[in-house]
Amino acid sequence: MAVNDHLTSTAYVAELSRRIKNYRIDYPITQKELADKTGISPRSISRFESGEDIQLSNLIKILMALDLGDNINLLVPDTEKRPSYFLTEEKNKRKRATSAKKRRTENRTFQWGDEK
């Protein structure tokens, strides 16, 4: 199932639980081992893998136990890390000042190629 704009929240939960269940099986780790690793009851893990809703904190614990914690950052992008953020940071940085004498000297030494 492809994730798209037409899915309900229930459908998203079902799809996410299906993916996590498949990942857990391929990991490989049993529901009991996952429960021991996360502190979540085996019953809650079983219900989640059946498509039922769970607490957000439990989902995060499961993702971290399956070494998927880094993917949490993909859920909502950090607006400070967008490419445009780095462009505005460059504009706001203070540039090194050049002395007025050096600028005048640089301006006088410039010649077009045909002015010799």
Mean pLDDT for all residues in the chain = 83
Span between the terminal Cα atoms of the chain, in Å: 72
User: pLDDT for 52-88, tens place per residue?
Assistant: 999 999 999 999 999 999 998 888 877 777 676 666 6
Q: What is the pLDDT of residue 20?
A: 97
- Helices vs strands, H then E, count in the chain: 6, 0
Q: Can you give the pTM of this predicted structure?
A: 0.65
Q: What is the pLDDT of residue 60?
A: 96
Q: What is the pLDDT of residue 26?
A: 97
CA proximity to 24, closest of 71, 67, 70, 81? 67
Domains, the chain, ordered by start:
9-76 (1.10.260.40)
d(Cα 76, Cα 68) in Å, to the nearest integer? 15
